[in-house]
Structure 1
């Protein structure tokens, strides 16, 4: 039942994004880690907005808060805020080329990173370092592959 409805493959993609978010990387590459959770959520928000909405984004944000050890609600707030334009303009974003989509993704990830930083600064007195913004570039660069892989995955498992 879960596989036929596409729920299990969808949940599996969320789990993979969460694992990639905390998976150890070489110290040189760590600052460049793409924002996996945002990338996967943005893909599903524009691909199947009737199945993935604010509740999904909120749960994923809270799970990210737990995994990252941040103040509860920071990532959830940031993800819900960037989910709005993705859901509001999903038809337009779908019709963009992969390069244009990558630029949209870069802006959304940048907004998310700024919101997370501002909330962390406000609540925990975090300091800003330029490498904090490197995931914006790496996420934009990896977006075409993420899009193509998840589209193939969606078609393979009939996620509708």
Structure 2
């Protein structure tokens, strides 16, 4: 009998524990990617939000709402935005990801991306509402392409960020895991 957690088409993997320094490096690299001068490109994803949600889903006890808030303050300072705009959006995004983390991990990576899309849209909408509350005009519907690009990058981010945990400690050709 196959339990709901097992799939008849793909094997289950036992992952190695993630190193705390790896989480810190990935969050720092995501922050540095956000610092790049992308200009006014429409569909550039928020890499900090993407990596933050990934770690919230996979390791909610290591990366929580406090980390999200601090990264949001750093993004506010970088973008010279209203102080707390990104912090509020990232904190709400992390809360949503942490509250859904057990359910989301049951699905395939493509279905996980569909679950992440509403979270990314809500976080972007909160950030937009804060900006509009202080007098910024509505940037248009194309503004929300950022969330779509983040959801499309979810499978790539999952493959990249889980890669160090998938390696075998000692290689054995007869072991299926």
Correspondence for 1:114: 125
TM-score of the pair, normalised by structure 2: 0.78
Q: Highest Rg: 1 or 2?
A: 2
Q: Which has the higher helix share?
A: 1
RMSD: 2.1
CA contact (8 A) 1:117 1:126 kept: no
Post-superposition CA distance 1:4-26 (Å, at most 9, x none): x8332221111111111121347
In the alignment, the residues of structure 1 paired with residue 87 and residue 165 of structure 2 have an alpha-carbon distance, to the nearest angstrom, of: 25
Post-superposition CA distance 1:36-55 (Å, at most 9, x none): 11110111001111111111
The residue correspondences of 1:11-160 to structure 2 (distance < 5 A) are 11-25=24-38, 30-155=41-166
Correspondence for 2:20: 7
CA contact (8 A) 1:45 1:90 kept: yes
* Inter-CA distance 96–51: structure 2 relative to 1 (3 Å threshold): same
In the alignment, the residues of structure 2 paired with residue 153 and residue 16 of structure 1 have an alpha-carbon distance, to the nearest angstrom, of: 16
* Inter-CA distance 25–123: structure 2 relative to 1 (3 Å threshold): closer
TM-score of the pair, normalised by structure 1: 0.86
Q: Structure 1 residue 88: deviation in Å?
A: 1.2
- The total of aligned residue pairs comes to 152
Post-superposition CA distance 1:112-140 (Å, at most 9, x none): 11100100000233323122111111111
| SS of aligned partner of 1:31 | coil
Structure 2: stretches of 5+ with no match in the other structure: 1-17, 170-177
